[in-house]
Structure 1
């Protein structure tokens, strides 16, 4: 999942590193990991777990509240290009999944050191949006007793992206929106672009931003970095 969102939302020249299996962790990513682990621990210690039944799962009117980071996701899409056929598989784990009033809601927390830069942003960054759209277009692993990978029945879908202040660890701003056909088209367009670039059917495009290059974990090793 992070390969897709990182390259299409931040820098396409990360793709060769992903393909070679090279991974990096920035200081901000480490802070985020620490927050997620702490939040997950608190949720598991305080949550009142109610057994999920097939009847409850299938009834869209039944509200569901899954334990934080307890749901694995799988998005699989086949593409038929003139050059070849290909299958894209994206695996991830959603921060929080709930079904409320027949609406499937996926929440994702993003940790930033300077949350005030979001004051002038009416929409989240592309990479942040693509991540929640990938979760919402996925199937979910609910256990073998439920048949393995399944969709969660709902009437509508909605994303929530929480901008978390790394210093205070509090939510600074939340973006949320009901999923529309435009979101579906946007997601399909980016997934198609991603797999074509991974297969070298399309060339990689540079963002031409020195600040983005310097903030990238691959800055020192990337021959295309603006220095």
Structure 2
């Protein structure tokens, strides 16, 4: 297959598997999405979706969030991991949203990435899922799949994002990155990987992946 044929196969297969695409993180507005994505760092979406209702019952907007102490926030979000950093980030960004953005989540990468504990991936998720801007957030699943499918060199997530944006049409980025996340979880996980189940890698990436990196079978 040519690279374009591989790209087309990925798009067509994912559309067949995921004609409707659920949003992984429960939220009701840009602020609750921002907090949920922040909490998802090194934590499963399932766990985040268990914790956010507890947090949002007390504070689902920046004005109520700053009424809590960092320690109170930390205690609620502790099961998500990295709670010292995340609680300070949530408290700090809530203050900044109030002081600099009238309590609203900004709609630019620059403003989002200036918030405490908000990196490029978090900003990209908010830009795409909350505001509908074309974005291709690269998480561990997408980084792994792009490499297994021979669509990037696997050097780092920055390169993977550049390659994804170069290869896939901009108008499908927002749906495609979610489809890839679900596919990575269900068909091509990091652990317990079954190549016979992983139809995309088996079809377009298996030979070269295994030749170059047989450790992927471990």
Q: TM-score range by the shorter chain?
A: under 0.3
| Structure with the bigger percentage of helix | 2
Relative contact order: is structure 1 or structure 2 higher (C-alpha 8 Å, sep ≥ 6)?
Answer: 1
Superposition TM-score, scaled by structure 2 size: 0.25
